[in-house]
């Protein structure tokens, strides 16, 4: 790897390598050596930019959480258009079609990572919590427009959608659920929460 590469480029390269490993090999395959090998850089590069491997993983997880911001903005801007169920279906496929499910497994797999994340993320699993907040914000916007009943508990509905969505997508070895399956789940959850669809 050439010297003088900007930190941002190194981080991006290492994080993208971690994505590929996590999706291909799962949390047990994600080691510092695997990341640097996958990224095509020397072993010491990771340790020059991070205190240790768990510090790298914590930054990696938080970076991936930040990547939900554009999806949250897109979902929020969809309020009032299309159908509530259709918008949520697309959002859940985007969230769970990413590396999010694998990150949940990683956080569960590594005790030290969970401990480090508690310093900046005191409750919940970062990716799922952020996604639930994104969904709740969207449902609140739709409630303001009258497309979701006034009495709907959007926080509970969001948690139900994220939890059920995670269960649909959690099996890395099976086929990913298609749009129709996700749409059925979304409609079922929305209907259980007050006939929203």
pLDDT of residue 153: 93
CATH of the domain at 20: 1.10.10
Of 129, 136, 186, 130, whose CA–CA distance to 156 is shortest?
136
Whether residue 77 lies inside any domain: the answer is yes
CB 54 within 8 A of CB 46: no
Number of domains comprising the chain: 2
Residues 37 and 106 occupy one common structural domain: no
pLDDT of residue 197: 46
Whether residue 197 lies inside any domain: the answer is no
Provide the residue range defining the domain that includes 12.
7-49
CA distance 113 to 59: 10
CB 183 within 8 A of CB 84: no
Residues 175 and 149 occupy one common structural domain: yes
Residues 30 and 116 occupy one common structural domain: no
CA distance 133 to 124: 11
CA distance 132 to 176: 21
Whether residue 1 lies inside any domain: the answer is no
Residues 39 and 104 occupy one common structural domain: no
Residues 14 and 98 occupy one common structural domain: no
Residue 197: DSSP 8-state:
-
Residues 76 and 154 occupy one common structural domain: yes
Of 62, 65, 61, 69, whose CA–CA distance to 137 is shortest?
69
CB 130 within 8 A of CB 69: no
Whether residue 131 lies inside any domain: the answer is yes
Whether residue 110 lies inside any domain: the answer is yes
Residues 168 and 75 occupy one common structural domain: yes
CB 113 within 8 A of CB 57: yes
Whether residue 54 lies inside any domain: the answer is no
Residues 103 and 36 occupy one common structural domain: no
Residues 36 and 103 occupy one common structural domain: no
Contacts of 158 (CB under 8 A, 6+ apart): 132, 133, 134, 135, 136, 139
Whether residue 78 lies inside any domain: the answer is yes
Length of the chain: 197
Whether residue 165 lies inside any domain: the answer is yes
Residues 40 and 108 occupy one common structural domain: no
CB 68 within 8 A of CB 104: no
Residues 91 and 161 occupy one common structural domain: yes
Full pLDDT tens readout for the chain, 197 residues: 444 444 458 889 999 999 999 888 988 999 999 999 999 988 888 988 898 999 999 899 888 888 878 888 889 899 999 999 999 999 998 888 777 778 888 888 888 888 888 777 656 676 778 888 899 999 999 999 999 999 899 999 999 999 898 888 876 566 788 899 999 999 999 988 654 44
CATH of the domain at 108: 1.10.357
Runs of H (alpha helix) within 53-174 = 53-66, 68-77, 84-96, 100-109, 111-120, 126-144, 154-169
Q: pTM of the prediction?
A: 0.77
Positive or negative: CA dihedral 171, 172, 174, 179? positive
pLDDT of residue 173: 64
Residues 174 and 107 occupy one common structural domain: yes
pLDDT of residue 6: 44
């Amino acid at each position: 790897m050439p010297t003088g590469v900007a930190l941002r480029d190194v981080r991006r390269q290492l994080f993208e390598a971690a994505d590929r490993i996590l999706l291909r090999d799962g949390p047990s395959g994600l080691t510092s050596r695997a990341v640097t090998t996958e990224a095509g850089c020397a072993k010491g590069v990771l340790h020059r930019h991070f205190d240790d491997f768990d510090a790298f993983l914590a930054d990696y997880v938080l970076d991936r959480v930040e990547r939900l911001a554009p999806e949250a903005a897109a979902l929020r801007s969809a309020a009032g258009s299309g159908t509530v169920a259709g918008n949520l279906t697309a959002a859940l496929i985007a969230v769970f079609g990413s590396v999010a499910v694998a990150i949940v497994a990683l956080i569960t797999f590594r005790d030290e990572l969970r401990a480090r994340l508690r310093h900046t993320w005191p409750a919940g699993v970062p990716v799922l919590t952020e996604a639930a907040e994104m969904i709740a914000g969207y449902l609140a916007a739709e409630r303001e427009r009258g497309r979701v009943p006034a009495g709907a508990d959007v926080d509970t509905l969001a948690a139900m959608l994220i939890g059920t969505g995670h269960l649909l997508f959690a099996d890395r070895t099976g086929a990913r659920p298609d749009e129709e399956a996700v749409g059925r789940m979304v409609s079922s959850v929305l209907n259980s929460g007050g006939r929203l669809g």
